[in-house]
Every structure is written in structure tokens, then in C-alpha cells.
Amino acid sequence: MSDRLQAGDTAPAFTLSDADGKPVSLSDYAGRKVIVYFYPAALTPGCTKQACDFTDNLDLLAGAGYDVLGVSPDKTEKLAKFRDKESLRVKLVGDPDKGTLEAYGAFGEKTMYGKTVKGVIRSTFVIDEQGKVERALYNVRATGHVAKLIKDLKLDAA
């Protein structure tokens, strides 16, 4: 398991295929803020809730200058099915070899139903315009996470 990232670290570079098989690189977002979130599997209840929450808040996030990128170990075909079935507007990319997941510390041992297993650690990273990690959030909950993130980034219209 790789070390966890901290605020101030340089975000590990990556190029992964999106749901249409097109390459997407972190460097594509240079000069913009990007929220990169890692989730275990497309088409599962928790991951669907999280992806729908990001989609529902995409206009608010984009208006505040944030792009959103969802990363899972799924292959492009499954990502396309997930996007189409749930009408997702979040850019989804697949990391089947788990290299990017590991580089971000988002893959490793975790406790699930009382057992220690190896898998995706649901995590979210806020990366600034210079490619530095602003926030590194590990073991986030699928439900309510996006609302909390918006509140923490002070984007809520309160």
C-alpha cells in the first residue's frame, strides 16, 4: 500500500481512458481546480449515489471553478454503461491496473463487514490549478460526502 497524500503534495500525474475510450490526463486540467474522487465499482448502490450527487452538484462546482473526475478500477465499457444508465455528467475514467489508485493511496487494506480486505478506499482529492493537493480525504462515505465537500469548500449558498 502506498503512502497517503497530504495537502501540499504534488498530485500524481496520470492518463486513463474515459467511458468512450479517450485518454484523460490530470495535465488536461492544468490551470483549473479539479476534484478527483476514487470509488470501488460502477453500477453499485453506494457508488451510484455518490456519482449522482456529484452530477447533481456539477453546475455549482463548475461555477466555482471545479472540474470533477471519477476514477474506479472498471473497464471503459462498464463506465459507459454506468454513465448512460444513470445519466451521469461527471467524467468517469477507468484504472483497471490500479496504478493511479495506488499512487493516490486509494487502494489497499480496508475493513469491510469486520474483515480486512484489499480494495479501493473511497477517497476524494481537491487539486489546485498548479497540480498540488489542496485536500486529501480518505475513507469518505458515499452518501452525504458531496454535500459535506461543498460545505467544506464554502460553496454552499448559505
**Catalytic annotation, pick one of 11, 47, 120, 140:** 47
- Please say if 52 is a catalytic residue: no
Q: pTM of the full predicted structure?
A: 0.94
- pLDDT (tens, 9 = 90+) of the chain, 158 residues, equals 458 999 999 999 999 999 999 999 999 999 999 999 999 999 999 999 999 999 999 999 999 999 999 999 999 999 999 999 999 999 999 999 999 999 999 999 888 788 998 999 999 999 999 999 999 999 999 999 999 999 999 997 54
3-state secondary structure labels for all residues of 21-76: CCEEEHHHHCCCEEEEEECCCCCCHHHHHHHHHHHHCHHHHHHCCEEEEEEECCCH
d(CA 70, CA 61): 14
Torsion angle of C-alpha atoms 7, 8, 12, 17, degrees rounded to 10: 60
